[in-house]
Amino acid sequence: MNHRISIPEFNLIESKLTEIKNLASSDPLISIIQERFQQQITHHLTSLKSKSVIPNLGKNIELQSLKQAYLRNGKEHAVTQLVFDLANQKLTTQSILLLAAVLFDETSYRTNESYIQNISGNRQPITKAANVVEEMEKLTSWYSSVGKKERLNPIEKASILHYKITTIQPFNDWNGRIARLLLNISLMGSGMLPILIKPDERLAYYENLELADNGNIEPLIRFIANKEIETIDDFMSSPEYLSIKGKYELKEQLKNVTGSEKCIVLTEDSATHNLIELILKSSGFNLNETKVISYEGCSKIASANLFSIFVKEKMPYVKILVHRDRDYMTDAELKLQKDSFSRIDTKLFITRGTDIESYLLNAEHVSFCFPSVSVAKAEKLIAKAMEEVFPKSVDYLRKKEFGGHNSEIHTHLNQALEELVTNNLQRFSHGKTTLKILQYKLNDLTREKKSLEKASPYLCVEELQTFAKTIWH
C-alpha cells in the first residue's frame, strides 16, 4: 500500500485550509460554524457537538453497551456524535464495528463469500470471508502508522482507506456507506471538511473506484480532492464565514488608521472609493481627516455593523459613516437597516438611487464638467441614457422581487414593473450602466476626454453635509 501521489489540488486545499485556520485563530466562532457546517453536510439533526459519550474506544469495552450509549439520543444524533468522536481517536477495528452497529445493527464482520459488480458489469473479487478480520487488522494498523512512515497527504491517506474498505467488503451490507463515512472520519481527523458525494456524481465516483481496481488509484484521489475543494469553497462562501471574514478584514484595515482621523467611512465597494470620496468632498468632508474603508458588498453589511461597535469601543471620539447602495431595497428594508445603525450611534448613508453612480446623473453636474453642454442638453442626454438602460433596470427589479434570472418569469407582472420604473427613473435606473452610457455620449458629442468623476457643488448631498457639520464646525 505504498503510494506517493502529488497533484496540484493538494496545495490548493492546504492554502484554503490555512486561510480558515488563520481566521479561526482570530475569531473562535469560526470553529463552531465549521463544526455545524460539517454536520449539515451529512444531513444530521444536531447543530453543535455535545460532550463525548465515552473518553476512548478501548478493546475492553463491550460493543453492545457502547452502541446503546450512543443510541440513547436517537440514531441520527448518535451517528453525528460517533463520527466526531472517531475523527479524534485512533482508528481501530473495534471503532469500525461500533460504527456499523450504530448505523445498521451489524455487530460482526462478514462470514459468507460474496462479490461486487463494478460499473462495467463485471464481477469484482473481494476478500475471502475467512480473511476479513486479518485484512481489517492490517488496514487499521497501516492507517495508524502511515503518517509517520510514508507521510502521505491526508487526502491520499483517506482515499486509500476508503478504497480498501470497498475491496475488503467487511460487512454483509452497507459497505459503501460505511466506507464513505470512514472517508469523512479520516478527512475530519486531518483537519479537513467532510465531503458529500451527490447522486449525480455517483457514476463518476464508481468509475474512479473501478480504475482503482485496475491499479490506478490517482483518479479516485483527485476526485476526492476536488470534492474537498468544493466543500471548502461552499464553507468559505457561507454568510456566517463571510461575515466573520469581513469583520476580520475591517479590523486589519483599522491598523492603517493613523489616529488623526475624525471620521471613518465604511463603503460597500472598493471599486467606488473615488466616487464616494467625490460625494464626501462635495458635501463638506475634510478628506485629510477622513478614512475610507471598504467592507466589500452589501451581503457583508452585518460585518460593518460589528466593526462600528468595535471602533466605538476603541475610538469613541471618531464619527462613523456607513455607505451602501440602495439597489432595489424597499422602504421597509431601508428603515430596518437605518434603525440597526442608529442604535449604535452610527450614521448609515443609503443612496437615493440604486447606487453611488446615480448622483452623477445630474444635469447641473454634467454641465459643470462639460461647460459646452447646457443643462437642458444634459437633461436630454441623461434621459436618453436611462431609456437605453430601461430593460436592464426593469430586469434588476424583477430579480429583486421574484428571484431568478429568467426575464420571462412572472410575465403577467411585467407591465406593472415597467410602469413603476418609468414613473421613478431617478430611483430605479441602474446607475452604473447609465453613467457609462452617458459618459460615452458626452465624449462622443463634445470630442473631449473629460470625466464626470469630478467634485462639484452639484454633488453635495444634504444629509451628508449635515453630518459633516457635526464633525467640522
Give pLDDT tens digits for 421-472: 899 999 999 999 999 999 999 999 999 999 999 999 999 999 999 999 999 9
Q: Tell me how long the chain is.
A: 473
Give, rounded to a whole angstrom, the gap between the first and last alpha carbons of the chain: 76
Q: What are the two backbone dihedrals, phi and then psi, of residue 430, each rounded to the nearest 5 degrees?
A: -70, 105
Chain centroid to CA 265 = 25
DSSP letter string over 51-79?
A: S-S-S---TTS-HHHHHHHHHTT-HHHHH
The pLDDT tens digits of the residues spanning 161-191 come to 999 999 999 998 888 889 999 999 999 999 9
The pLDDT tens digits of the residues spanning 369-418 come to 999 999 999 999 999 999 999 999 998 888 887 765 555 555 567 788 88
Q: Which of 160, 50, 40, 44 is nearest to 102 (CA)?
A: 44
pLDDT of residue 42: 53
Question: Which residues lie below 8 Å from residue 129, measured CB to CB, with a gap of 6+?
Answer: 110, 111, 112, 113, 114
The predicted model scores a pTM of 0.65
- The DSSP output letter for 371 is T
Could you tell me which residue, 300 or 438, shows the higher pLDDT?
438
pLDDT of residue 228: 95
Q: Poorest-confidence range of 33-47, 91-105, 132-146, 213-227?
A: 33-47
Question: Which residues lie below 8 Å from residue 273, measured CB to CB, with a gap of 6+?
Answer: 267, 292, 294
Please state, in angstroms and as integers, the Cα–Cα distance from residue 299 to each residue in 40, 304, 308, 356, 429, following that order.
22, 10, 16, 17, 21
Is 3.40.1760 the CATH classification of the domain at 251-357?
no
Cell numbers that stand for 49 in this block: 457537538
CA angle 4, 9, 15 (to 5 degrees): 110
CATH class entry, domain 8-238 = mainly alpha
pLDDT of residue 150: 66
Distance between CA 302 and CA 293 in Å, rounded? 15
Mean pLDDT for the chain? 85
Distance between CA 472 and CA 205 in Å, rounded? 65
Distance between CA 407 and CA 390 in Å, rounded? 13
Could you tell me which residue, 72 or 49, shows the higher pLDDT?
72
Distance between CA 183 and CA 194 in Å, rounded? 8
Domain assignments of the chain as residue spans, ordered by start: 8-238, 251-357, 360-469
For residue 73, pLDDT beyond 80: no
pLDDT of residue 103: 80
**Total Cβ atoms within 10 A of residue 139:** 22
